[in-house]
Amino acid sequence: MNAKKLVGLLLILLAVTAVLAACAPQTVEVTRVVTETVVETVTEQVEVTRIVEGEVVTEIQEVEVTRVVEVETEAEEEAVAEAGEEDIVTISWWGTERGRDTAETRELHFQLARAFEETHPNTKIAVSLFPSRGFANRVLTAIAAGEGPDIWYHYFATDIATQGFLEDLTPYIEASDFDPAERWFPIGQQRAVYDGRYYGVPRDATAGFIAYNKDMFDAAGLEYPQPGWTIDDYRELAIALTDRDNDQYGIGAIVGTPGCFQWSSFSYNMGVDFVSPDGRQVAGYMDTPEAVDALKWCMDLTATDQVAAPEGLQEQFGELVFLSGNVGMQHISTWELPAINEQAEFNWGVVEPPRYDENSDGIAWTDSYVYYMSADAKQKQRAWEFMEWLSGPEAAMIMAEAGVWTPAVPSVWEELGWNEDPVLNVAWNELQKETRVANYERSQFYWDCVGDIFYDVWTNYVELGDTDVEGYLATAVPDAQACLDDNYASLDE
């Protein structure tokens, strides 16, 4: 690993550590420095003093000097040959466990590994699962120590590829017999491509939508939300459903927090985009009058309307407060469906997210975890065979039948009839719509430079009662832009 690559990796590690504190991937070569004895000849300038006609004369002359020196050099990496088809190879695969995950989620990793080994008996998959909180920190630390996994999944911004620790998978894909555009949903491609090259393959594909408590709607005499509704309709229903004296709330989690701006459909459907598509610009995006209005709309749900579930409920039920039965609506994705299907003790339904207004088309919030291969993986062809299989139809069917992750392969959805399922049809339709990469996944420097703005403006407005959003952004946005500019400039040095 050269010095620039190591420094870049350490900077990423520091950034990830900061993210974990705020919110709540080839084995990478470690450079060995050795000394080498060399003989070198150099030209040096020396002073020569002599007597000429009785006078002392000092002159500067150039002379060649030969000397033996020891110099530092980077040790050559020992070549590791790709294993033959009959050789037994072990590929390390790291994954995560989240608080919302079911026991089936953990088992799925081992089920997938066993299924692959059955048809690839000379490749063994070593599965390691870790808590999701701190996972990126763990991976990057392991890479820096030369002990990272061959394959893992995460949700890096695609421009993380500039740091050099991800294998470029484009040659492998080009040598395979599938077309990514035909195999995967659009978001599966968007989350894996940087500068026209594939640095990952999608694990799954999810979409955001609204889950609603039918029992609460019925008790309040309200009609269920329908496709085509707007954010104003959403707000009116939230107010009508809220009865704080009886511990009933119109909305829960995400939309009642800074997540409204970042990991929900609302972040695209309030008439603005807070960050440029490539993640490099916030000036001219986050500081516009339209952006200020959008920020206030989200925050007023909590500060003014008081329709959001309190923190105490989230402490009891985690981020999925919808399961309390006391929350009328919550923005969810297919990642939350297993827990709702298993634990909900009330009647519920789902509907597409509200659009900005009657003249706007809804923009889908979709996402995908991505499988990555280490640039220093020793047996890359075997690792690629596993990655290709993991992101293909056979593994997708296993995932779907386990009811854990909704696959990135549309043909599996259609084969299972999910495109007509009362619940999954909503996600299917969202996955066909115009979509964008989430704000926080557009730049590797987002959490260094941008993310805190959303939390700070929320604290000021909701908790401290400081409604001068424009005044705060007037300083915060230029600072964030300078941070982005400096970090991207450093990549070109």
Report the Cα 259 to chain-centroid distance in Å. 14
Question: Does pLDDT of 18 surpass 60?
Answer: no
Instruction: Name the percent of the chain lying above pLDDT 90.
Output: 71
User: Residue 109: what pLDDT?
Assistant: 96
191 and 229 co-located in one domain: no
User: Residue 54: what pLDDT?
Assistant: 52
- Rounded Cα–Cα distance for residues 106 and 104 (Å): 5
Phi then psi for residue 50, to 5 deg, are -150, 165
Quick check: is 76 in a domain?
no
- Rounded Cα–Cα distance for residues 133 and 16 (Å): 11
User: Residue 85: what pLDDT?
Assistant: 72
Quick check: is 74 in a domain?
no
Question: Does pLDDT of 175 surpass 90?
Answer: yes
Written as six digits, the tokens of 119 are 């048809």
Q: List all residues 6 or more positions away from 289 whose beta carbon is below 8 Å from its beta carbon.
A: none
Written as six digits, the tokens of 343 are 């634990």
Quick check: is 75 in a domain?
no
Quick check: is 35 in a domain?
no
Q: Write out the E strands in 379-457.
A: 435-436
* Model pLDDT for residues 436-457, shown as the tens digit of each residue: 999 999 999 999 999 999 999 9
* Model pLDDT for residues 278-292, shown as the tens digit of each residue: 999 999 999 999 999
Nearest Cα neighbor of 408 from 363, 371, 451, 375 is 371
Mean pLDDT for the stretch of residues 346-374: 95
Whole-number Cα distances in Å, 186 to 245, 366, 448, 460: 45, 9, 28, 37
363 and 383 co-located in one domain: no
24 and 97 co-located in one domain: yes
Mean pLDDT for the stretch of residues 228-256: 93
- Rounded Cα–Cα distance for residues 433 and 436 (Å): 10
User: Residue 33: what pLDDT?
Assistant: 34
- Rounded Cα–Cα distance for residues 442 and 446 (Å): 7
Question: Does pLDDT of 96 surpass 50?
Answer: yes
Written as six digits, the tokens of 96 are 């995560």
| Residue range of the domain that includes 237 | 208-367+439-491
Q: Per 3-state DSSP, what percentage of the chain is helix, strand, and coil (rounded to 5)? A: 45, 20, 35
Mean pLDDT for the stretch of residues 145-155: 95
8 pLDDT band (50/70/90 cuts)? low
Among 12-16, 34-38, 58-62, the minimum mean pLDDT is found in 34-38
Amino acid (1-letter code) at residue 279: G
Mean pLDDT for the stretch of residues 194-207: 97
Question: Does pLDDT of 368 surpass 70?
Answer: yes
Residue carrying the six token digits 């009508």: 240
**Where is the domain boundary, 416, 448, 482?**
416
Mean pLDDT for the stretch of residues 79-105: 81
Question: Does pLDDT of 91 surpass 80?
Answer: yes
Mean pLDDT for the stretch of residues 409-436: 95
Whole-number Cα distances in Å, 232 to 161, 450, 461: 40, 28, 21
- Rounded Cα–Cα distance for residues 385 and 380 (Å): 9
Question: Does pLDDT of 112 surpass 90?
Answer: yes
Q: Report the half-sphere exposure of 379 (CA within 13 A, side-chain side).
A: 20
* Structural contact between residues 293 and 217, judged by C-beta atoms closer than 8 angstroms: no
- Rounded Cα–Cα distance for residues 255 and 264 (Å): 7
In the chain, the number of structural domains is 2
Question: Does pLDDT of 147 surpass 70?
Answer: yes
Written as six digits, the tokens of 450 are 């941008």
User: Residue 55: what pLDDT?
Assistant: 56
The CATH number linked to 409 is 3.40.190.10
223 and 359 co-located in one domain: yes
> What's the chain's Rg over C-alpha atoms?
28
Quick check: is 54 in a domain?
no
Question: Does pLDDT of 421 surpass 80?
Answer: yes
Question: Does pLDDT of 406 surpass 80?
Answer: yes
Q: List all residues 6 or more positions away from 316 whose beta carbon is below 8 Å from its beta carbon.
A: 324
Quick check: is 128 in a domain?
yes
Quick check: is 106 in a domain?
yes
95 and 115 co-located in one domain: yes
Mean pLDDT for the stretch of residues 360-375: 95
* Structural contact between residues 201 and 169, judged by C-beta atoms closer than 8 angstroms: yes
268 pLDDT band (50/70/90 cuts)? confident
Question: Does pLDDT of 211 surpass 80?
Answer: yes
Question: Does pLDDT of 1 surpass 60?
Answer: no
337 and 219 co-located in one domain: yes
100 pLDDT band (50/70/90 cuts)? low
* Structural contact between residues 63 and 43, judged by C-beta atoms closer than 8 angstroms: yes
* Model pLDDT for residues 457-485, shown as the tens digit of each residue: 999 999 999 999 999 999 999 999 999 99
User: Residue 317: what pLDDT?
Assistant: 87
- Rounded Cα–Cα distance for residues 485 and 281 (Å): 9
* Structural contact between residues 342 and 404, judged by C-beta atoms closer than 8 angstroms: no
- Rounded Cα–Cα distance for residues 118 and 136 (Å): 30
User: Residue 103: what pLDDT?
Assistant: 84
Mean pLDDT for the stretch of residues 91-119: 90
Q: List all residues 6 or more positions away from 458 whose beta carbon is below 8 Å from its beta carbon.
A: 257, 258, 299
- Rounded Cα–Cα distance for residues 252 and 151 (Å): 35
Q: What is the mean pLDDT of the chain?
A: 86
135-145: b (≥16 Cβ within 10 Å) or e? bbbbbbbbbbe
Phi then psi for residue 265, to 5 deg, are -60, -25
32 pLDDT band (50/70/90 cuts)? very low
- Rounded Cα–Cα distance for residues 429 and 362 (Å): 11
Question: Does pLDDT of 83 surpass 80?
Answer: no
Task: Residue 421: count other Cβ atoms within 10 Å of its Cβ.
Answer: 13
106 and 133 co-located in one domain: yes
405 and 448 co-located in one domain: no
215 and 340 co-located in one domain: yes
Quick check: is 78 in a domain?
no
Instruction: Name the percent of the chain lying above pLDDT 70.
Output: 83
395 and 353 co-located in one domain: no
241 and 335 co-located in one domain: yes
Q: Report the half-sphere exposure of 92 (CA within 13 A, side-chain side).
A: 17
236 and 325 co-located in one domain: yes
- Rounded Cα–Cα distance for residues 405 and 402 (Å): 8
- Rounded Cα–Cα distance for residues 174 and 177 (Å): 8
